[in-house]
Chain A
Amino acid sequence: MASIALQVNGKTHVIEAAPDMPLLWVLRDVLHLTGTKFGCGIAMCGACTVLVDSRPIRSCVTPAATLVGKSITTIEGLSSDVSHPVQQAWLEEDVPQCGYCQSGQILTTVSLLARTPQPTDADIDEALHGNICRCGTYNQIRAAIHRAAGLRRQATEARLTKHAETSDE
């Protein structure tokens, strides 16, 4: 057993865990953050996706001990009130059915939009290819991603407009 300091959703947790224990089980069984899901254990389904320094990783195959000093974001840390633009888009499109894969789908999308603010369908296919949804909500996921990109664009435009107005004064 080793003592591991992890920064999860902005808080530092010191936990005791086996050095090879994947982050998934640390999050779920030790920190009781159950929004991150177990799906396959071999990085084939994306249900366990979390963000590490804003990049999506598969927590089921990533030992927690390798993430010391990094910033980990789980679905619980995205917002306290589903106000994140991606969550808002998901709400508008009413995406989930069973909902089990959605934490991973949402976090993968957050990362996609950070890198590619206006993704094409091909960008979406590439980024989300590793995230299985057995309920088949893929078309709603796609619509929600485009909507979230639109929300971002609107927010940026609003900021620019405000900036322009301020400059005019």
Chain B
Amino acid sequence: MSNETSLKIELLNRRDVLRGMGGLLVGFVLPGARRVDAQHFGAPMTVKPNAYIHIDADSMVTFLITKGEMGQGTVTSLSQILADELDCDWNCVRTEFAPVDPSCYGPMQGVFGSTSIRTQWMPLRKAGAAARQMLMLAAAQKWNIDVTQVRTDQGFLLANGQRTSYGSVAEAAAKLPLPADIKLKDATDFRLIGAPAKRLDTRDKISGATRFGIDAEVPGMLYASLARCPVFGGKVARHDAEKAKAVAGVREVVRVSNGVAVVADNTWAAMQGRKALNITWDEGPNAALSSAIIRSRMSELGEKPGIAGRTEGDAAGTLARAAKRVESIYEAPYLAHACMEPLNCTASVRADGCDIWASTQMQSGARRVAARITGLDPARIQVHSMYMGGGFGRRGGTDFIAEAVEISKAIGAPVKLTWTREDDIQTGPYRPAAYVKFSGSLDSQGWPEAFKARVVCPSFGGGRGGEGLDGTAVEGIDDLEYRFPHCAIEFHRADGAVPTSYWRSVGYSQNTFFAECFLDELAAAGGKDPVEVRRRLLAHSPRMLAVLNLVAEKANWGAPAPGRYQGVALVNNLESFTAEVAEVSLHDGKVKVHRVVCAIDCGQVVNPAIVRQQVEGGIAYGLTAALKGEITIEKGRTQQSNFNTYDMLRISEMPKIDVHIVRSSEAPGGVGEASVPPIAPAVANAIFAATRRPVCRLPIRISV
């Protein structure tokens, strides 16, 4: 591959293109973004100038979407916010992913923690409103009237019987200063916000036109497959490339940090070449690691006092004096994300710059890692955001981007690296396995009195959490909405060799299962109804109580169909309140989940159809983990390899789902992860109701 070929690649600098297009590009200083739960990735969003809207002369409106689209609908819902305040014609809206630009979009450009709507809600409303005001002023100047006489109607400006399009004054508007006083719509005037608008990305997704990362094509591009050490922490001792190079279509074999890459004329040839590699691995210190060893370490820690978390009242004293105590141990396994689109990245490293085409949740990180590897100025790294075939937290990592950049740098040509499904399942990082030892007690009336949990869990993100309580590892237990008279949460960090990371709903993904199931054990020990116990513990929390009551009503709680059993579970995560009731039956040791009723209060809703999609999708994701998901380790390596050993929920296993959205004018809450945590405990609690034996481990296995 010659440099000449790679230099022929047309570089597209979107900002230059936009400047050259004329028209209105709104850029303005963001007001302080309201606090978001950005703890997972460090600093909260900083306040910087932003650019979101472009209107061209024929009134076509282009919205720059700074948040990646992985199915959660941000391309549509963020556009609704902009279009509503801008008052443009929804049929004349198109979208593009914004380039990485810290001066424009802040230092943490990415999509994580269900923050897209929460962080963009006010900035986008203000961007849309500011642009509208500038267009109105431009029209007023054109007509030589006062701006107060001008009004707008879906892409048009009107005054005294005159009418003109946004496009006709866009260029003039672009020269005006940003309004000092941005007037936002009254919520009662929302036209698109709150409407079940059809998704903007559907048409391309049903015609094969959508470009995911894996579909990137660059002139002169080669294809790579990378062999990594199957043992965690291991590395290449030596390799022999001779047989690999003999495979038809194979061009080069290169050693990179994570292993040995085979570069070929197509993906298949690269994969075949990789199979022909002769690699001797240095398996390192973890060659004997197993799930049994990891579990025994966790259970040892579970017997020792941990770092103190939430502490209220006197849990130890109450437990010591209690007439009725319940003790239980809960466990959850490592889980792979298994995005449908295998991880991939296309990189083109040149002497003067680097382009990256990737389906990534972390554009800023992609740029950072490429700058580090190439030694180039970050401004010379262009990240082209592609549609993601699922993300679920996995695409917040930049390992696959670093690999592609290294390979392209090594061979001096653009290259597309594609992971196999086996790479995806066996490499991780994984949702951490976790272990919790619970103790609880009941008062003389049988109501829960003391609630004690000792959480043993690796930190998320591979031990970067530092010392002390890891808020992410205990979320879902340490921040329970329930108010117990006595409560004591402890934590042990159980970091190990298995790489871990964020997984849809993060700590809540296992901790909500633990806490909600143990609560049902307490309820049963006290002879109480699970919903009644929760009502009592939520008396102080009107929004949580409201979704509990709503879900109980809609699920016909207490009166399941014959042969079926109900279980309930709640979560308060990401500023949303979610309650689910699962209705299950058991046949020959197998669980059938017939129906799930969900009530959610996620504050102001931008698109109720997308909220429903996310709730259903989250339930499917959580149900897959509840019924099937388990990564096990033996001889330092992952035993599962593909969908034959790490199966996903199938269409025949999908329950009927009824979603009830609470009408609310509270600030928007996160939705992408809200419905994942309650499904496993709702199903487990229904099984507990059926068998009177608590389900204490995931995935759910029923002994007949």
Q: What is the interface of chain A, defined by CB distance below 8 A to chain B?
A: 1, 18, 21-22, 25, 28-30, 32-42, 44-45, 47, 74-76, 78-79, 82, 87, 90-91, 94-103, 106, 124-126, 128-129, 131-142
Contact = CB atoms under 8 A, between A and B. Distances in A.
A100 B342 CA distance: 10
Given A39-B340, A82-B203, A94 B652 contact: no
B420 interface: yes
B643 A136 contact: no
Interface in B609-632: 609, 613, 616-621
B71 interface: yes
Given A37-B389, A134-B648, A90 B342 contact: no
Contacts of A142: 651
What range describes how many residues of B lie at the interface?
35 or more
Contacts of A141: 651
9 contacts: A18-B249, A37-B340, A91-B206, A96-B71, A99-B204, A101-B340, A125-B652, A134-B339, A136-B621
A87 B72 CA distance: 21
Nearest to A132: B648
* Majority SS at the chain B contact face: loop
Contact of B268 (A21, A33, A124): A21
B338 A38 contact: no
Given A35-B209, A136-B616, A129 B202 contact: no
A128 B208 contact: no
Contacts of A135: 71, 340, 390, 613, 617, 620-621
A10 to B, nearest CB: 15
A95 B72 CA distance: 12
Task: Identify the 7 closest CB pairs spanning chains A and B, nearest first.
Answer: A35-B208, A136-B620, A100-B389, A98-B71, A99-B205, A97-B71, A75-B208
B657 interface: yes
Interface in B581-636: 609, 613, 616-621
A41 B609 CA distance: 33
Contacts of A91: 198, 202-203, 206
B390 A132 contact: no
A101 B214 CA distance: 13
B643 A96 contact: no
A42 B205 contact: no
Given A18-B269, A40-B642, A98-B389, A136 B210 contact: no
A34 B341 contact: no
Nearest to B388: A98
Contacts of B69: 98
A91 B656 CA distance: 21
From A76, A103, A135, residue with most partner B Cβ within 10 Å: A135
Given A97-B71, A97-B72, A132 B340 contact: yes
Nearest to A78: B207
Given A132-B643, A134-B339, A100 B268 contact: no
A29 B215 contact: no
Contact of A98 (B208, B340, B609): B340
B39 interface: no
A159 B391 CA distance: 45
B148 interface: no
Contacts of A25: 266-268
A134 B648 CA distance: 7
B649 interface: yes
Interface in B184-235: 198-199, 201-212, 214-215, 217, 223
Interface of B: 69-73, 198-199, 201-212, 214-215, 217, 223, 248-249, 265-269, 271-272, 338-342, 387-392, 418, 420-421, 609, 613, 616-621, 642-644, 648-652, 654, 656-657
B579 to A, nearest CB: 19
A98 B504 CA distance: 15
Given A25-B267, A38-B267, A91-B203, A139 B654 contact: yes
Contacts of A106: 206
B642 A42 contact: yes
Given A98-B70, A132-B650, A29 B208 contact: no
A47 B340 contact: yes
Given A134-B340, A136-B616, A30 B642 contact: no
B644 A44 contact: yes
Nearest to A86: B206
From A28, A78, A87, A106, residue with most partner B Cβ within 10 Å: A28
A58 B223 CA distance: 22
A142 B266 CA distance: 36
Contact of A96 (B206, B421, B650): B206
A130 to B, nearest CB: 8
Contacts of A132: 340, 643, 648, 650
Given A30-B266, A129-B651, A134-B390, A98 B202 contact: no
A139 B341 contact: no
Contacts of A40: 421, 642-643
A101 B643 CA distance: 14
From A1, A18, A95, A138, residue with most partner B Cβ within 10 Å: A138
From B205, B249, B648, residue with most partner A Cβ within 10 Å: B205
A75 B205 CA distance: 10
A103 B199 CA distance: 17
A113 B323 CA distance: 64
Given A75-B208, A91-B198, 19 more contacts: A25-B268, A29-B223, A29-B268, A32-B217, A35-B208, A36-B208, A38-B267, A42-B643, A74-B208, A82-B206, A98-B71, A98-B391, A100-B390, A133-B340, A134-B648, A135-B620, A137-B616, A140-B613, A140-B616
Contacts of A139: 616, 654, 656-657
A124 B266 contact: no
A45 B207 contact: no
A97 B70 CA distance: 8
Contacts of A134: 338-340, 390, 392, 620-621, 648
Contacts of A97: 71-73, 613, 617
B248 A1 contact: yes
Contacts of A36: 208
B217 to A, nearest CB: 6
B365 to A, nearest CB: 20
